[in-house]
Amino acid sequence: MFHLALLYLLAASSSCVHAQQYISAPSYPSPWASGGPGWDEAYAKAKDFVSQLTLVEKVNLTTGTGNQADLCTGNTGSVPRLGFRHLCLQDGPNGVRYTDLNSVFPAGISAAATWSRSLLRRRGLALGEEFRGKGIDVMLGPVVGPLGRDPAGGRNWEGFSPDPYLSGVAVAETVKGTQEAGVVACVKHYILNEQEHFRSGISSNLDDRTMHELYLWPFADAVRAGVGSVMCSYNRINNTFACENTQALNYLLKNELSFQGFVMSDWGAQHSGAISALSGLDMAMPGDGPRNSYGSYWGGALTEMVLNGTIPQWRIDDMALRIMAAFYKVGRDMKRVDINYSSWVNATSGPRYFASKTGNTTVNQHVNVQGEHSSLIREIGAKSIVLLKNVGHSLPLRKPSSIAVIGEDAQDNPRGPNACVDRICNTGTLAMGWGSATAEYPYLIAPATALESQAKGDGTVFSNFKSNWDLPGARAAVGNASVAIVFVNADAGEGYKDLDGNLGDRKNLTLWNGGDSLVEAVASVNPNTIVVIHSVGPVLIDHIKTHPNVTAMLWAGLPGQESGNAITDVLYGRVNPQGKTPFTWGKHAGDWGVATLNATGIAPQQVFSEGSFIDYRHFDLAGIEPSFEFGFGLSYTNFTYSNLTITPTNGTAYQPDTGKSAPAPTFGVVDRNASSALAPKSFPKVPRFIYPWINDVNALNSSGSGTVPAGSQDGSPQNLLPAGGAPGGNPGLYDIVYSIRVLITNTGALPGTEIAQLYVSLGGPDDPKVVLRGFDDVELSPGQSKEVVFAVTRRDISSWDPVTQNWIASPYPKGVYIGTSSRQIMLHDNLSRDILT
Ligand code: NOJ
C-alpha cells in the first residue's frame, strides 16, 4: 500500500471543517540528490567541490548572512579558502530589482498572454543576461505560485496564468532561457501561496488530486526544465508550514519530481532549525531568524546540530551539494562577474555591509545590462495585448483626423516612474504591480507620449485630457474627436503594504481611480470610444463590453517600460494583435466561485474545496457565461481551421518507477572535533553578520536541537515512487501518445498570428469539461495555410490516482477540441482508446 501523499480528511457528518482535519502526512528522510538527466556533469563537479569543504564551509553555503547584510537581496556565506565568493540572490522576476541601468520587462501575466514559447524563452534569456551582468547567481523568479486561484490574488500578475498547462509551458521556457544565460532560476513560491492576506499563517488545505492536477503541475514543468532552485512559501499546506512540509518538499518535490537543485526559504518563511533541515530545506533566507545566540535557525546552530548528531552528515552534504550542483549546471563557474551594485544604496559609494553600515567602498559601478532588450520588451508588450472587442473595423486606426487620449493611466507619473518605492502607488500609467517583483524603470513610455508622436507623424489633431475625476471636462475633451481612447487600470501587489485598502489582494474587481465613470462619461458623448485596460488580472467590464459607443476594447496587461510604444503598435496595426487572455473575465465578483479569505486566528483555514475547478474550469462546471472566456482574443484578420487528424503514436507501456535509491552519500569528512568549528582567533567579524562558527565547544545543544522525527536521520536506501524516476516525474509521462494535426488558414486581408489551442476532455465524472493541453502560435500571411502539430503526452490525458500514487489514463471516453479560445471550438473528435497506458 502506498503512502498517501496528502491526507485529506473530511468529516462525513458535517460540512464544518476544523483545522485538525487537514493534516500533512510526514515523509522522511529527505531525499538526497543523485544526478540524473541534465544534472550528471554538474553533480560530478559539485561532488568534487563539496568533498573539499569543511563543515563550517558547507554550513556557510546554506545560510544567508542576514537581512541587508551584504549587497544582494539574499547573500550566503562564502568559502574564501577556495576562492569561492558568496552567492548573490536577487529579485526577480520582471527585471533586476534595486539597481539601475536595467530593463523592466512585461510582467509574467503579460508574457503568458503572448502564448508564444519563443517569446517566453527570449524573455527568460534577456532577464538572465541582465542578472548575469550585475554579478547575480540566482534570479528569484519565475513565479507559478500563486497560480491564480483567486482572481483578486495580489501576486497573480507575477506569475503567468491560472491554467496549469499554460503556466507550465511559460515557466519551463523562462527557466530554460534564464539558465541558458548562466543564471540559476528560482521557481517560487512553493506552494499554494494563493492570497496575500495572512500569507504567513494561512493554511491552504487541499487534496492530493488537486495538488497534482493543478498546483504542482507547473512546478513539475519547471523541474523538468532543469530549474536550479525552488523557494518554499510563507503559508502552511494542510497545516504545516511550506518550508518544513515534508510532503511538499521531501515526498513531492525531491522524490516524486526528482528535483536535484536546492530549496531556499522565502524571506522569513523558515520556522525551525533541525526540523526544517530534515524536512528538505537547503538554504535559509535571508538567514536571520530567532533571537538565539546565533540570530539564526542555522549558521552556527546548524553546525552544532551536525556536530551533536541531530543532523546527519549526509543531510548537510546534500544541502551543499544541491546548491553547488545548481551553480555548475548553469555554468556559473565560467560566467561569473563581480557583484557590481548594491541593493540598499543608490550612490556610487556606501557601506558594503548595509545592515551594519560598515565597509565603505564603491558599491555601485552602474553597469548597463540593458543590451538590445528594449525591442524585445516592445515586441512582447505588443504581442501580449488582447483585442477584446472591435466593432465595425474601428481598429486599426488609419490616420484619424483627431484623437483624444483620456485618463491618468495614459500619463507619466508627474514625479517620475520610480517615484513610489516598490511601486506602491497607482499614479500615471500602470506597467507593473507593486512589491518585491518590481524593478526600477530606466524610462517608461506613457501611452499619451507614444500616441502624440504617432499623431504628429500622421497629421492627426492630438489632445490629451489627464484627469479621471473631472467628468464634465472629459466629456468636453472628446466631444469632437474622431476617436476617443480612454485608459483605465486596476493594480495589485505584495501584501507587506496596502494601497488604498488593498492589502496586496484586490478588495474588489472593479477599475481603480473611477475608471468606470470615466469610460461612461467619454462613451456617453463619443460614438467611437476605444478602451484600453492595464490590469493585473480580470476586471468587471461587461458594461463596457456591451456599451454601444465603445467600439473597441483592449487588455494591455502590465507591459513594462515600452508600454506606450507597444499599445501604439497595436492600435495602428503595425502589430496585428495576437494575444489571448490567460484568465477568464467574469461578469460578477462571485463568478469565479472563490473569494479571498478574510479571517482571524493563528492559522486561518483556506479550504480549496473547489478542487481543480478554478477559472474556466469553474465557469464551465457552473454554466456561467463570462464576459470573455479563457483563451479569447481577436485579430485584425480571420482564420479558419480544417483537416483535423489524430494519430496515436506507438509509445511504450507506462512503467511505474520501482526499486530503491542508493544509500545517502557523504562528501569529505566532517571533523568531529568541535574546536575546528570555532571562529579563527581574531577573525574580523562584520557586525550583525551570521557566521557558521559555533560559540562554545561545550554547548552543542544551545540551538535547542533534540528529538527528531522518526526516520528523518535514516540514510539507507529508500523506496522510489511510481510517478517518479527523473526530473519532472516519471519519464513515461512525457511520452507522446497522440499526434494531432490541424490546418490553419488566414482568410483575411492582413498578415497575422493565430494562437491555435487544443483542449481535451478527460471524460470522467469529476473531470473538468475541457482542459488546455496544447497551443501554438502560427504566423500566416493572407491566404496562407500552415499545419499545426500538437504532441499530446501521456500526462496530458492522465488523471492523478491517489490510491496508487500514480497517473493513469482513465477508461472514460476522451475528446479533443481545437479552437481559438476555450469556448470557440472549431473542430472536435474523439481520442481512440488503443494507446498503451
Ligand atoms: C518575499 C517575497 O515573497 C519573495 O518573492 C521575494 O523573493 C523575497 N521577499 C525577497 O525579496
CATH of the domain at 505: 3.40.50.1700
The count of other CB atoms within 10 Å of the CB of residue 115 is 29
- Joined together, the cell numbers standing for residue 581 give 487572455
In a domain, 348, yes or no: no
Q: Is 73 in the pocket of ligand 1 (CB under 6 A)?
A: yes
- Are residues 445 and 483 both part of a single domain? yes
What is the domain-level CATH number for residue 697? 3.20.20.300
Q: How far apart are CA 641 and CA 817, in angstroms?
A: 11
- Are residues 645 and 748 both part of a single domain? yes
Q: How far apart are CA 407 and CA 452, in angstroms?
A: 14
- What per-residue confidence (pLDDT) applies to 17? 44
Pocket test for ligand 1, best of 436, 496, 505 (most atoms within 8 A of CB): 436
Ligand 1, atom 11: nearest CA belongs to which residue?
436
- What per-residue confidence (pLDDT) applies to 189? 98
In a domain, 363, yes or no: no
- What per-residue confidence (pLDDT) applies to 6? 39
Distance 232 CA to ligand 1 centre (A): 10
pLDDT along the chain (837 residues), means of 10: 37 39 96 97 98 98 98 98 98 97 98 98 99 98 98 98 98 99 98 97 97 98 99 98 98 98 98 97 96 94 96 98 98 97 98 98 98 98 98 96 98 98 97 98 98 98 98 97 98 97 98 98 98 98 98 98 99 98 98 93 94 98 98 98 94 92 95 94 96 95 78 98 98 97 98 98 98 98 98 97 97 97 98 66
Ligand 1, atom 8: nearest CA belongs to which residue?
267
- Are residues 394 and 314 both part of a single domain? no
Q: Is 267 in the pocket of ligand 1 (CB under 6 A)?
A: yes
The count of other CB atoms within 10 Å of the CB of residue 598 is 12
Number of domains in the chain: 3
Q: Is 266 in the pocket of ligand 1 (CB under 6 A)?
A: yes
Instruction: Report CA Rg, the chain.
Output: 27
Q: Is 439 in the pocket of ligand 1 (CB under 6 A)?
A: no
- What per-residue confidence (pLDDT) applies to 3? 39
Q: How far apart are CA 494 and CA 189, in angstroms?
A: 13
In the block, cell 476594447 appears at 553
- Are residues 645 and 687 both part of a single domain? no
Ligand 1, atom 6: nearest CA belongs to which residue?
436
* 429 and 447 Cβ atoms separated by less than 8 Å: yes
In a domain, 769, yes or no: yes
- Are residues 198 and 252 both part of a single domain? yes
Q: Which atom of ligand 1 is nearest to the CA of 92?
A: 7
In a domain, 544, yes or no: yes
Residue positions annotated with a catalytic role = 266
- Are residues 734 and 693 both part of a single domain? no
What is the domain-level CATH number for residue 775? 2.60.40.10
In the block, cell 483575411 appears at 748
In a domain, 604, yes or no: no
Single pTM value for the model: 0.97
In a domain, 22, yes or no: no
Ligand 1, atom 5: nearest CA belongs to which residue?
436
Q: Which atom of ligand 1 is nearest to the CA of 436?
A: 11
- What per-residue confidence (pLDDT) applies to 836? 47
Q: Which atom of ligand 1 is nearest to the CA of 143?
A: 5
Upper half-sphere CA count for residue 628 (Cβ side, 13 Å) = 27
Among 833, 837, 758, 756, CA closest to 795: 837
Q: How far apart are CA 254 and CA 743, in angstroms?
A: 41
Ligand 1, atom 9: nearest CA belongs to which residue?
267
* 143 and 194 Cβ atoms separated by less than 8 Å: no
* 305 and 705 Cβ atoms separated by less than 8 Å: yes
- Are residues 108 and 144 both part of a single domain? yes
Q: How far apart are CA 561 and CA 822, in angstroms?
A: 31
- Are residues 194 and 261 both part of a single domain? yes
Q: Is 188 in the pocket of ligand 1 (CB under 6 A)?
A: yes
In a domain, 194, yes or no: yes
* 230 and 322 Cβ atoms separated by less than 8 Å: no
Q: Which helix (H) or strand (E) holds 565?
A: helix 563-571
Range(s) of the domain holding residue 758: 641-656+725-830
Q: Is 91 in the pocket of ligand 1 (CB under 6 A)?
A: yes
Residue type, 557: G
Q: What region does 327 belong to: left with phi over 0, alpha with psi -120 to 50, or beta?
A: alpha
Backbone φ and ψ of 251, nearest 5°: -75, -55
- Are residues 327 and 412 both part of a single domain? no
Q: How far apart are CA 573 and CA 93, in angstroms?
A: 30
Q: Is 140 in the pocket of ligand 1 (CB under 6 A)?
A: yes
CA distances to 34, 91, 316 from 713, rounded to whole Å, are 18, 34, 11
Ligand 1, atom 3: nearest CA belongs to which residue?
266
Ligand 1, atom 4: nearest CA belongs to which residue?
266
Q: Is 190 in the pocket of ligand 1 (CB under 6 A)?
A: no
Q: Is 32 in the pocket of ligand 1 (CB under 6 A)?
A: no
Ligand 1, atom 10: nearest CA belongs to which residue?
267
Concatenating the DSSP letter of every residue in 594-636 gives -------SSS-EEE-TTTT--THHHHHHHTPPPSB-TT--B-S
- Are residues 109 and 152 both part of a single domain? yes
In a domain, 623, yes or no: no
**Residue 774 C-alpha from the chain's centroid:** 20
- Are residues 685 and 747 both part of a single domain? no
CA distances to 110, 180, 719 from 159, rounded to whole Å, are 9, 20, 34
Q: Which atom of ligand 1 is nearest to the CA of 74?
A: 10
Concatenating the DSSP letter of every residue in 429-447 gives ---S-BSTT----S----H
Distance 436 CA to ligand 1 centre (A): 6
Distance 409 CA to ligand 1 centre (A): 27
Distance 269 CA to ligand 1 centre (A): 10
Among 271, 205, 258, CA closest to 232: 271
